[in-house]
Chains A and B, each alone.
Chain A
Amino acid sequence: MSTRNGIHGLLAKARTHATDMVGRMWSGQFMDSMLRPGSPFKKGYTDTPRNRSYVIMNNVLYHLHPVKVKRHGVKLSYTLCLGGLSFFLFILLTVTGIFLMFYYAPTAERAYIDVQALSTDIAFGSLMRNMHRWGAHLMVLTVFLHMSRVFYHGAYKPPREFNWVVGVILLLLTLLLSFTGYLLPWDQLALWAVTVGTNMAGFVPVIGAQVKFALLGGVEVTAGTLLRWYVLHVLFLPFIIVIFLAVHFWRVRKDGGISGPL
């Protein structure tokens, strides 16, 4: 009996200590230092116009959003959230892509086996791979639809001309990211789709052959191409697209926020 009491007492003590510590962290110096004034996660947050401004202004979000936006731009029916969804898909693709990288080696011997194992042996491997693949297709689609939405709104007109140019570069980078990823499973689908695709690049006169050679690292798809496209896919292109995304978002704000209303 006394042992039970002892254990209970110990547990109760531990629990008090734990709640105490959490409580102290929540309202103490650590939380204060982490959450800036006006954070909705801070104790005693109230919904005031001032705090609504602080949520954005005192936050890393301020890099993306101004404190206030045009009322019509908030309506889902204006942007259809397509630009935002493209960006969010890019983030999802980064997360799932990092997961895939843990289990994948870009060599002709291992690539195919690794992808096979992902689909069968590895916990959540199949889900991650599927999300990465369908998400990539979806991103091409949303970026394309976003471009169409921008066109139909005439949102590329002054002062937003240059952001349209940045957008076209983003579209190209999105296609390149998708296309370089297409080769990586190293199955028949990957090999021959890439062969067909790069053959089309070879039709460009004057520089076509050189472009194709540079893309493939040879005259045809080889194991060297696999490594080359892997590096492009996981390192080079993401790096470049992030730079252009930063410019794109920055320009949306500097060009006076979202365009319109019509």
Chain B
Amino acid sequence: MPEIPEELLRRSAEAKAKALGLPVEQILAEMRGEAPVTEVPAESVDVPRPTFVPSPPPPSVPEIPPEPQPPDPASAPPPAITAVAETPPAAVKEPAPAAEEPAPAAPEAPDNGAGNGRLAATVSVRPSVPPAGVPEGVRHQRLLTVVKARAIQQVKADPTDKVNTWPHLMIAEFTALLAMTAFLLVLSTILQAPLLEAANFNATPNPSKAPWYFLGLQEMLSYFDPQIAGVTVPTVIGIVGFMMIPYIDRNPSTRPSDRKLAIMLFTIFLAGSATLTILGVLFRGPGFNFAYPWVDGVFFDDLKDWVDFGGH
């Protein structure tokens, strides 16, 4: 029999002691097999009764009989939480003949939970069986403690509607992957990546533009003092601010109607950066001055071949 953790033993002893109105230390000693089990009048036991206990108990049976006590302290009650069938060690069989009854009910034994009357009759003709309202086969059970349902495991997640990843998700992913590959292949066949003259430190092209994803910044730099546009806007708002969004927006709802402000602010950000980027890419000519792409042409080399398909 496995060792029972001390705190489990103690907890069940406390519960039992509380139920029986006895000192904890005494119950603990009993559980460890260091003391004989106290006999308790049935009526005084106000632990929740297992369903098979007849209610009301037959008046002729005043007491719950003493249970067979294993002499070996190591074979203390098993570490079960509720009622546990306890098979006594072979050594106990002699002093406690009652324990010799096989655990499954004998043919004439009542099925648990039914027929209290029949039960009483059975008990009366078989004196070796303790006479309590406890049917055969369950005599060796005893209540260690009662644990409220859900006390140990809490189910937090509600069941959700789920489907198998294979094939449902994998097929969607695979399709997207193929579509993307096909798209990129076609794009790369049609459009030649730009390659201008070799790098020349002495010839600054006019205009000089950053890659498109930085052109919104470059656009802002042309409006504001670099110290402001170069620092506050991109790094503080852009990086730190973005990382902190989940900690700033404490609104737990994900329903669009509950987060009008958040959605509005983000949409302004998106529209703003798109506008600035498009301005920087298409509407800036020599000297980074304003230019109309349809009049002055496109001053953005990555786009050159997109606009006139001639290649270079």
Contact = CB atoms under 8 A, between A and B. Distances in A.
What size tier do the contact residues of chain B reach?
A: 35 or more
A36 interface: no
A67 B214 contact: no
Contacts of A256: 157
B231 A203 contact: yes
B254 A155 contact: yes
B181 interface: yes
Interface in A39-79: 40, 49, 52-53, 55-56, 61, 65-74, 76
A34 interface: no
B301 A189 contact: yes
Contact of A127 (B189, B204, B230): B189
B209 A131 contact: no
Nearest to A80: B176
B266 A130 contact: no
B245 interface: yes
B188 interface: yes
Nearest to B301: A189
Given A56-B165, A189-B301, A256-B157, A196 B246 contact: no
B91 interface: no
A197 B211 contact: yes
B199 A130 contact: no
Given A56-B166, A164-B246, A262 B255 contact: yes
Interface string A85-102: 100110010000000000
Contacts of B301: 189
B154 interface: no
Given A70-B162, A157-B246, A200-B221, A88 B180 contact: yes
A135 B208 contact: no
B165 A151 contact: no
Q: Which of A53, A92, A189, A197 is the most central at the interface, judged by chain B CB atoms within 10 Å of its CB?
A: A189
B266 A69 contact: no
A178 B169 contact: no
B173 A81 contact: yes
B184 interface: yes
Contact of B188 (A134, A160, A186): A134
A200 B217 contact: yes
Nearest to B157: A256
A116 B253 CA distance: 54
Contacts, number: 210
B227 interface: yes
A60 to B, nearest CB: 13
Interface residues of A, number: 86
A76 B172 contact: yes
Given A179-B211, A262-B254, A188 B181 contact: no
B252 A157 contact: yes
Given A119-B192, A130-B189, A152-B263, 5 more contacts: A119-B195, A187-B199, A200-B221, A220-B201, A262-B256
28 contacts: A56-B166, A61-B165, A68-B162, A73-B169, A74-B172, A84-B176, A85-B176, A112-B199, A116-B195, A119-B195, A126-B192, A130-B187, A138-B184, A153-B254, A154-B254, A154-B262, A156-B245, A169-B243, A178-B211, A178-B213, A185-B195, A189-B196, A196-B208, A200-B214, A200-B230, A200-B234, A203-B231, A205-B227
Interface of A: 40, 49, 52-53, 55-56, 61, 65-74, 76, 81, 84-85, 88-89, 92, 108, 112, 115-116, 119, 126-127, 129-131, 133-135, 137-138, 140, 144, 148, 151-158, 160-162, 164-165, 168-169, 172, 175, 178-179, 182, 185-193, 195-197, 200-201, 203-205, 208, 220-221, 256, 259-260, 262
**6 A-B pairs with the lowest CB-CB distances in the bound complex, closest first:** A203-B230, A130-B188, A161-B246, A154-B254, A55-B166, A191-B199
Interface of B: 157, 160-170, 172-173, 176-177, 180-181, 184-185, 187-189, 191-201, 203-205, 208-214, 217-218, 221, 226-227, 229-231, 234-235, 239, 242-243, 245-247, 249, 251-256, 259, 262-263, 266, 270, 301-302
